[in-house]
Structure 1
Amino acid sequence: MTAEASRPGRGRGTIPVRPGEELDVDAVRRFLSGHIEGLGDCPVEVEQFPSGASNLTYWIRCGAWEAVLRRPPFGPLPPKAHDMKRESSFLSRLHRVFPLAPRPYAFCEDPEVLGAPFYVMEYRRGAVLDDKFPPGVEATPELCRRISYAVVDTLAELHAVDYREAGLGEFGRPEGFLQRQVGGWIDRYHRAKTDDIPQVDRITRWLGDHLPASPAATIIHNDYKLNNLLLDPGDLSRIVAVVDWEMATIGDPLFDLAVSLSYWAEETDPELLKEVLPTVTKYGGFLSRDEFVERYWRRSGRDVSSLDFYMVFAYFKLAVILQQIYVRWKRGQTQDPRFAGFGLRVRRLLEYADGCIPGRA
């Protein structure tokens, strides 16, 4: 890939590394020298991708060579969370059959190098859509719908991959997946709890009482959303990569669909939801969630009649993820100012999830 001017973030959306999240550049250089052929004797540049609130992601460059480095957040971590070895191994097999998954280059298990295990993977240049379009892009209804189609179709394509043929059967336990997920996320909420929110008991009781039968298992991304897709800057309706695979596994594809929909805000959604989930989809022009589901159904052929359950669970899960981040901020384990308002976001998401329970709207 061609090099750019060294001004931070130019064309990449990166920023200078945040205080407290710096990497030992000399250690990175030594590791790369031992694992990347033909790197040459050149200094290493490091910048940080600012989006994401879990694993830390850095852009690194040595001469004309560019890559991405992924490592866990700093501070104490839950057991089995932020498993860099698993994420790297998963991608090393998936990218062969699903080219939108980036290819890992090298994994480091030794925490003495950077303080935690990490891996380095290929860098793909692309635009990320968060809460606004890139400067100079006219967000026409036609463009928004083409982007929507690409998002849905790529999810259906991922779910069509034969995970056994890809050698990914060991990366999940499909039997009982949904039941474990419901119990696990309820437990995670209580372990990270900071405030009393009355909707929690109603939601968790309803989830436990209405568990549907899952369809046949597939590869699931588990955090599939618009800003985890890299889009071709010249044609935003063309996806060039799907990123952030840390929670990928083998499981229920409708769960994956609902997780994606939980991030897909609509123009007519309540303001509280649009504030919690800042995304360009809330400005209109994109598919509605119902249209998203219909296109997925037509592409995949799966029965989506039980999606109400999955949507309540998806909003609850998202609230728990934010709560886990918020409790780290409240305990002083991270200084990132973005997380100070997550407590209010959690409350609003749980209120919305409660309202999504059939008969409660």
Structure 2
Amino acid sequence: MEDTIPVRKGEELDKAVLSEYLANQIPELRNHQLRIRQFGAGHSNLTYELEAGEWEAVLRRPPLGPVAPKAHDMKREYTILKALHSKFDPAPKPILLGEDSILGAPFFLMERKHGVVLDTEWPEGTRDTQRLGQAISEEMVDRLVQLHALSYEGTELEAMGKPEGFMERQVHGWIKRFNRALTDDVRSGQRLQQWLSEHIPTQAESTIIHYDYKLNNAMFDRNDYGKMIGLFDWEMTTVGDPMADLAVAMSYWMEPSDPSEIKTGLGKAPLTVESGFYSREEFLQRYAAKSGRDVEQIHVYLTFAYFKLAGIVQQIYYRYKNGQTNDERFRGMNHFVNHLLDYAEETAGL
């Protein structure tokens, strides 16, 4: 199944400049023509496949136009991968951090992994999907538990993260981001923001957290869908509350009983709604059993996770409405933001 597309209009890279730069940085690329394609999935950073002879890599750069403060930090993601790829094998190996002047924006290269990324459809000809759904669910839980068990002491993450007061900063920080990106066709969410400010959970421990952990950020072995071989989009990774990471994962983990507006807010419903995949409750219970952590207060974290997702989507929609991107996938995202605010209020019991 092809996971790349021709580069979208308006999102092209300067091929000549990039070719010269890479040839100077990586001598083996000299005398080889650079080929560029784009990964079509994703709604935020721009990600490209690079090939030259037998060499291949993935290039990541921020979206076009102005970006939110501290968002889309390529140097940070590169540093995170340097710290983690030898400890957690699904994390891609970083290759180089590019200079801003080359493409007009920060970027980095990482290894190109080959496998299956599952999103809304099974690859053609896939059989026994119920068994595969269960195996994938188990692997998703177990890899999250594994990540949360890694030590961050002595790595670059120790200096990058601030474990104390993590949830307080997250709640107030995302309230500010949401309000900064607010448009006139989206609800203000003031009642929800007040509830979140009054229900900041007490953090029991700090671990490495991915903070964007979802099915379509993972890659599985083509011959064994129960084995994760890649995990991507590490830009939000930090040291923080593992319950927040678990809740963010659950905010993306749709199930059949969810409202259609939630399941299809980003397009077609994800595969997690199909038979065989864990429900959120099953995911939570396996996580609790494997990690030994108490998940009784997960509804508080999940309320915040839905609000955080609303904030992320609103930032994307804000860029579209203000003409900073012409990607038509973003046209109706304001409706999804409103549905997420509704769902967060329901989760909170408002």
Any idea what the Cα deviations from partners look like across 1:40-69, whole Å, max 9, x if unmatched? 411000000011111100000000111000
Alignment-derived partner of residue 327 in structure 2: 336
By how many angstroms is 1:215 displaced? 2.2
Alignment-derived partner of residue 7 in structure 1: none
Aligned partners of 1:139, 1:183: CA distance in 2, in Å?
45
Task: Letter of the 2:127 partner, please give it.
Answer: E
The answer as to whether partners of 2:141 and 2:283 remain within 8 angstroms in 1 is yes
CA pair 59-197 structure 1, distance change in 2 beyond 3 A: closer
Q: TM-score, structure 1 length as denominator?
A: 0.93
% identity of equivalent residues: 49
In the alignment, structure 1 residue 259 sits paired with structure 2 residue 245: no
The answer as to whether partners of 2:4 and 2:39 remain within 8 angstroms in 1 is yes
Alignment-derived partner of residue 162 in structure 2: 173
Q: Which segments of 5 or more consecutive residues in structure 1 lack a partner in the other structure?
A: 1-10
Aligned residues: 348
Alignment-derived partner of residue 310 in structure 1: 301
Alignment-derived partner of residue 138 in structure 1: 127
Corresponding residue to 1:270 among 259, 270, 276? 259
The answer as to whether partners of 1:12 and 1:125 remain within 8 angstroms in 2 is no
Corresponding residue to 2:39 among 32, 49, 54? 49
CA pair 152-179 structure 1, distance change in 2 beyond 3 A: same
Corresponding residue to 2:229 among 221, 226, 240? 240
Aligned partners of 2:188, 2:120: CA distance in 1, in Å?
28
In the alignment, structure 1 residue 345 sits paired with structure 2 residue 336: yes
Any idea what the Cα deviations from partners look like across 1:174-222, whole Å, max 9, x if unmatched? 1111000000000111100013655711211111111111121111111
Alignment-derived partner of residue 314 in structure 2: 323
Task: Letter of the 1:285 partner, please give it.
Answer: G
Taking the TM superposition and a 5 Å limit, the aligned residue runs for 1:1-361 are 11-109=1-99, 111-195=100-184, 200-277=189-266, 278-358=269-349, 360=350
Task: Letter of the 1:218 partner, please give it.
Answer: T
The answer as to whether partners of 2:47 and 2:61 remain within 8 angstroms in 1 is yes
Aligned partners of 2:90, 2:276: CA distance in 1, in Å?
25
SS in 2 for 1:31: helix
Aligned partners of 1:239, 1:100: CA distance in 2, in Å?
7
Aligned partners of 1:195, 1:232: CA distance in 2, in Å?
45
CA pair 87-344 structure 1, distance change in 2 beyond 3 A: same
Aligned partners of 2:34, 2:193: CA distance in 1, in Å?
48
Aligned partners of 2:335, 2:275: CA distance in 1, in Å?
25
Alignment-derived partner of residue 5 in structure 1: none
The answer as to whether partners of 1:272 and 1:348 remain within 8 angstroms in 2 is yes
Task: Letter of the 2:228 partner, please give it.
Answer: I
Any idea what the Cα deviations from partners look like across 1:220-271, whole Å, max 9, x if unmatched? 1110000000111222121111001111111111000000000011112122
Task: Letter of the 1:18 partner, please give it.
Answer: R
The answer as to whether partners of 1:56 and 1:73 remain within 8 angstroms in 2 is yes
Deviates more, 1:132-141 or 1:170-179: 132-141
SS in 2 for 1:219: strand
The answer as to whether partners of 1:222 and 1:247 remain within 8 angstroms in 2 is yes
The answer as to whether partners of 2:186 and 2:334 remain within 8 angstroms in 1 is no
Aligned partners of 2:281, 2:154: CA distance in 1, in Å?
32
Any idea what the Cα deviations from partners look like across 1:78-99, whole Å, max 9, x if unmatched? 2222111111111111111111
By how many angstroms is 1:139 displaced? 4.8
By how many angstroms is 1:330 displaced? 0.3
By how many angstroms is 1:276 displaced? 1.5
Aligned partners of 1:41, 1:196: CA distance in 2, in Å?
52
By how many angstroms is 1:143 displaced? 1.1
Q: TM-score, structure 2 length as denominator?
A: 0.96
Any idea what the Cα deviations from partners look like across 1:129-171, whole Å, max 9, x if unmatched? 1111111112532111000000010011000000114442012
Task: Letter of the 1:154 partner, please give it.
Answer: R
